[in-house]
Amino acid sequence: MAVVLGPNRYGKAETRVVRVTRGPGGHRIKDCNVGVALSGDMDDAHLGRSNAAVLPTDSQKNTVYAFAARHGIEQIEDFALLLARHFVESQRAVHHARVSVEEYPWEPVAGGGHSFAGRGGESRTCVAHHDRDGTATVVSGLAGLVLLNTTGSEFRGFAVDEYTTLAPAADRVLATAVTAMWRHTKTHSGYGESRERARGGLVAAFAGTHSRSLQQTLYAMGERVLADGPELCEVRLSLPNRHHFLVDLTPFGIRNDDEVYQVADRPYGLIEGAVLRAGAPAAGFAFD
C-alpha cells in the first residue's frame, strides 16, 4: 500500500507569559497564552531521516519569553505578527508560521498603582499568519462575552416533527456567551481601537435587535461589526443558546409571572455563522 505524508505542522501550545511594565504612573500587566505552529519542509523529520529542520518547541517557548522581555507586549496582534515573522525569517525550513494569543484582561485597583483585579471570563484573542513570501493575515476576536436580554426575543414558526416538544415562544429570555473573530483586510496599526469598535458593535446589535431567532441576532451582530469597521472584511460568530426556562411553581401555589427561571447549561443550542463584506477576499486558512 502506497502512502504519502500529508499537511502537517508542529509547535508549542499554551505558553503562558505575564509581562509587567513598571512606570512612575503605575504598573501595567499583560497576561497572555501563546500558541505557535510551524509548517514547511518537515518531511525528513516525519520519515525518520533527519531532525535538522525542526526547531525544538522548547526554543519556541523561550522565544516567546525573550520577545516579551525585549519588545514588550502592547497590542496582542502586533506581538503575534512579530513572532510569526521571526520564525519564518530565521528558519529556512519554515514556510508558514501561525501564532495565536489569548489575553486575559486585568484592571488596576484604585489607590495603589500596583494592584489588579481580573475581569471575569471574557478574553481577547488573535491569530496571526506569516508566509515565506511575506504575506501576513490577522484575525482578532474575543471569547466569553456574556450577553442577556430579558425580553425582545421570540422563537416560533419553526419546523415540527414527531419528536418536537418545544412550545413556540412569543417572548423569552435570550442569553449567550459570544465567541467572535473578525478578519482584517490587511495588517495595520490601531488593533486596539478596532477591537473596541467591534466589541461595542456586538453588544449594541445584540441589545438593539428584536430577535426572531438567535440566527437573526448573529447576522445583525456581524453586520454591525462590519458597518462600524471598514478595516474588516469578515466576522465569524459562535453563539451558544443559554436556555432559561420558566420554573413551574404551581405545585406550591405560587404564580410565576415570567420572573423565576431555571438556567440549563447543557445540552444547549449552538448557532454559528459568518458574515462577509461583499467581494471580500477568500479567507483560506486565516481563521484556522
User: Which residues belong to the active site?
Assistant: 12, 57, 243
Q: What is the dihedral of CA 235, 240, 242, 243, to 10 degrees?
A: 120
What is the DSSP code (8-state) at residue 1? Answer: -
CB 177 within 8 A of CB 144: yes
Query: In the chain, how many H helices and how many E strands?
Result: 5, 10
Q: Residues 27-33: contacts with CB within 8 Å, 24+ apart?
A: 27/108, 27/113, 27/114, 29/106, 29/116, 30/68, 30/73, 30/76, 30/103, 31/103, 31/104, 31/105, 31/106, 32/73, 32/76, 32/79, 32/101, 32/102, 32/103, 32/104, 33/101, 33/102, 33/103, 33/104
CB 191 within 8 A of CB 140: yes
Burial label for 133, CB within 10 Å (0-12, 13-18, 19+), is exposed
| Rounded-to-integer distance, Cα 206 and Cα 220, Å | 8
| Rounded-to-integer distance, Cα 19 and Cα 104, Å | 12
